[in-house]
Amino acid sequence: MPVLITPEKSSYRQLAFRPIPSCREHRFSGITRPATLQSSWSFGAARCLAALITLFAPSMQAALSFPQQTRAANASGTAFDPLKQVISAFPESIKLNQSKRILEFCPDYEVCDGFVASPSIAIATLKDFAYLYIYFYSDYFDLPKWRNHPESEATVERVLSKPEYRNCKHDSYFESARCVLLDRSRKGAIRLELIRYDEGARNVVREDMVKKLTETTRPPKQ
């Protein structure tokens, strides 16, 4: 029988074993054996088969479970919402009107950064755009502490790693993010607004997004 290394000492990829006598001595050669040896041969063959199943079962199980793991990873990827990281620090600061395709970041409830998307832009892309702008460009006074959180930067990395932003790979997250924001702004796909709520009235001023992105050449202070 094979001598297996226990999981504490090695993984199944490093299994060490001695030659299996039952497999060496009872080969399926097709030769008719005497009746007195038939039962012994069958028993040896069964031992050989059982040993092989034990040896290769882990790798077979891993191969069969890989598609399930991939589907699970894809499913979690489709549910990714970067703005949850914003809400974790600034509860109720995000307002989204999907029918009008307007997203607002209102950390102090009176003055907001507004993002308005054209019908061709997916809501997921609008959320990515808003997150990158909030992280790198919004001037709300309490953002530097939030930007220092490892989870906030990790969310930036995850957004920028999406396939649709592969043409904006640069040496820094800031430059990559600016590329993504400029690309969507220049095409008119998403525009920036400054929104102020005053005594129940909603006052909107359209911002020059391209000018702001072009003039800002350094990341915000942490």
114: alpha, beta or left? (left if phi > 0; alpha if psi -120 to 50):
beta
At 217, list the tokens. Answer: 């050449």
Q: Are 126 and 105 in contact (CB under 8 A)?
A: no
Q: What is the pLDDT of residues 12-24, one digit of tens each?
A: 344 344 444 444 4
Out of 14-23, 65-74, 99-108, the most confident range is 99-108
Q: Are 132 and 216 in contact (CB under 8 A)?
A: no
Task: Work out the burial of residue 80: count CB atoms within 10 Å of its CB; fewer than 13 is exposed, 13-18 middle, 19 or more buried.
Answer: middle
pLDDT reported for residue 169: 93
Q: What are phi and psi of 128, to 5 degrees?
A: -60, -45
Mean pLDDT of 60-67: 40
Enumerate the β-bridge partners of residue 115: 103, 192
pLDDT at 60 over 90: no
Mean pLDDT of 46-75: 46
Q: At what angle do helices 123-136 and 173-186 cross, to 10 degrees?
A: 130
Check the CA dihedral 92-97-98-101 and report its sign: negative
Q: What is the pLDDT of residues 112-124, one digit of tens each?
A: 999 999 999 999 9
Task: Work out the burial of residue 176: count CB atoms within 10 Å of its CB; fewer than 13 is exposed, 13-18 middle, 19 or more buried.
Answer: buried
